[in-house]
Amino acid sequence: MFVTATGTGIGKTYVAAHLIRYLRRLGRPVRAFKPVVTGCTTQTLAASDSALLLAALDEPLSAERLDAISPWRYRAALGPIAAAALEGRSIDFNAIAAFIGDAFRAAPAEWTVVEGLGGIMVPFDEEHTLLDLLMQASVPAVVVCGTYLGALSHALTALDVLRARSITIATVVLNESGAGSVSLDDTAAALAPFVQRAESRLISLRRDPSPDELDAMCEAVLLGLSAQPRCGHGR
């Protein structure tokens, strides 16, 4: 599965980490990758997305494991193009796409979780965005959305763009944002018809959910993935 979102700070890593823990509790082999990470410094490493994924896998935060799951790491908390430029580097989109393809092909019998960076249209160079990575990966997407003011428009735009590129949207996770003027229930009610039109599942996840609610979210995501004809490739 490819976990993406409508933007940054929406909850991709939160959802991905709980999915990993849930699969492990079920005794399912699972691997995780976040190929590109920005804002990753010595000071922030322990709280980085890569570290959270390794913790969910119950693996050590070592240089070897970091290189294995997040080979493209940049210090500045910026978009990948700007973060790489500050270090005199550039983004090799083809190398990232090949890395993700290899990750999904390497263990087809296992669950593989790949977490994207930012939103679905974050650019990697002058021609490619994360959307192009999703297209090349050819696996179902789990899309995480928020409930802040404007989130509904962002979610509908993401769903429309993904459908236009024939990317399978297995599940939409509506992750309740921080204090705001829009309720989770109201956002879910407005979003539901559009998700159903995409033949996808919509899951609402309240802020500070209980363990049972997190398990229910994970189970719903896995059911949504299992219902997709392309689920067998990388899952």
pLDDT in tens, 122-173: 999 999 999 999 999 999 999 999 999 999 999 999 999 999 999 999 999 9
190's tokens: 């407005």
- For position 126, which CATH number holds? 3.40.50.300
DSSP state of 39: S
- Position 232 scores a pLDDT of 39
- Assigned domain for 71 exists: yes
- Assigned domain for 231 exists: no
- Assigned domain for 185 exists: yes
- Assigned domain for 233 exists: no
Burial of 209: CB neighbours in 10 Å, binned 0-12, 13-18, 19+: middle
34 is catalytic: yes
- Position 231 scores a pLDDT of 45
How many domains does one find in the chain? 1
CA dist 211 → 18, 214, 217, 223 (Å)? 10, 5, 10, 18
How do residues 29-67 score in pLDDT, each as one tens digit?
A: 999 999 999 999 989 999 999 999 999 999 999 999 999
> 58 is in which domain, residue-wise?
2-226
The active-site residue out of 12, 18, 31, 34 is: 34
Q: Does residue 178 register a pLDDT over 90?
A: no
By percentage, how much of the chain surpasses pLDDT 70?
Answer: 95
- Assigned domain for 123 exists: yes
- Assigned domain for 234 exists: no
> How many Cα atoms sit within 13 Å of 43 on the Cβ side?
4
- Assigned domain for 72 exists: yes
Q: Does residue 179 register a pLDDT over 70?
A: no
How do residues 189-203 score in pLDDT, each as one tens digit?
A: 999 999 988 788 999
- Assigned domain for 148 exists: yes
